[in-house]
Amino acid sequence: MSAAAVPDTLPPPLIRANQHIYSDYFREEFTQTLDDNILQLLDRVWFRSRLVGFEPFPQRNNPARPLIFASNHSGMAFPWDAIISLSHLWRYLLRTRGTLRDLPRPLSAPMLSATRLMNPYLITDFWKKCGSVDATTLNFETMMYYQDHNLMLYPEGCRASARASIASTSCSAWLPVC
């Protein structure tokens, strides 16, 4: 049984075969360096973000499944609004818990990873190195078996068919959406 499997049931074979998405690209040290050298400054002098409603940090009502955080992009601030809010959560969890466990991992539009021009600073796989996972139905279902992090969705950032399938999967499984 893998460490990412739900204790009472093993994921279906297709999900098990896809669990490589948990760690293929995500680089905590890259994200920490980005936060230390760029994002904290942007947040302090430009965005001045505040976390509202995260004290105490939401707890899972089913420990075997991640929480789903749903957010909206803030007008013309895309993609910086998502980057800044998640980096703020990153710092908050490290400061209050000393761990990144339960940090929301975002599902992002696959087109953001498809070309280098869609990556900030033209860094190849920028989004995935920061923890994003391509927003596909299979990846969503796979992330529902991930024990180490929660999930962040930006519903208006996906095509309608992806929104419907992700929403219906969440509702049919009685999963909480924060």
Q: What are phi and psi of 115, to 5 degrees?
A: -135, 145
| Per-residue pLDDT in tens (0 to 9) along the chain, 178 residues | 445 544 557 899 999 999 999 999 999 999 999 999 999 999 999 989 898 888 888 999 998 899 999 887 776 667 788 889 899 999 999 999 999 989 999 999 898 888 888 888 899 999 999 999 999 999 999 999 998 999 999 877 544 444 455 555 555 555 555 4
pLDDT in the model for residue 157: 56
**What is 34-102 written as a DSSP string?**
HIIIIIHHHIIIII-----S-SSPP--SSTTS--EEE----GGGTTHHHHHHHHHHHHHHHHHHSS-TT
Please report whether residue 54 resides in a domain: no
Please report whether residue 35 resides in a domain: yes
Domain that holds residue 142: 21-45+64-172
Please report whether residue 10 resides in a domain: no
**Six token digits for residue 92:** 């908050």
Query: What does the alpha-carbon distance between residue 71 and residue 157 come to, in Å, rounded to a whole number?
Result: 10
Please report whether residue 124 resides in a domain: yes
Residue type, 66: P
- The position carrying tokens 């976390």 is 51
Give yes or no for a cis peptide into 63 (omega within 30° of 0).
no
- Whether the full predicted model's pTM is greater than 0.85, yes or no, is no
Query: What does the alpha-carbon distance between residue 144 and residue 135 come to, in Å, rounded to a whole number?
Result: 13
Query: What does the alpha-carbon distance between residue 35 and residue 18 come to, in Å, rounded to a whole number?
Result: 29
Please report whether residue 26 resides in a domain: yes
Do 108 and 134 form a contact (C-beta atoms < 8 A)? yes
Please report whether residue 134 resides in a domain: yes
Do 168 and 141 form a contact (C-beta atoms < 8 A)? no
Please report whether residue 13 resides in a domain: no
pLDDT in the model for residue 144: 95
Total tally of structural domains belonging to the chain: 1
Please report whether residue 109 resides in a domain: yes
pLDDT in the model for residue 139: 96
- What is the layout of strands, in order, in the sheet containing 68-70? 68-70, 150-153, 104-108, 133-134
Please enumerate in sequence order all residues whose Cβ is within 8 A of that of 47, keeping only pairs 6 or more positions apart, or say none: 77, 80, 81, 84
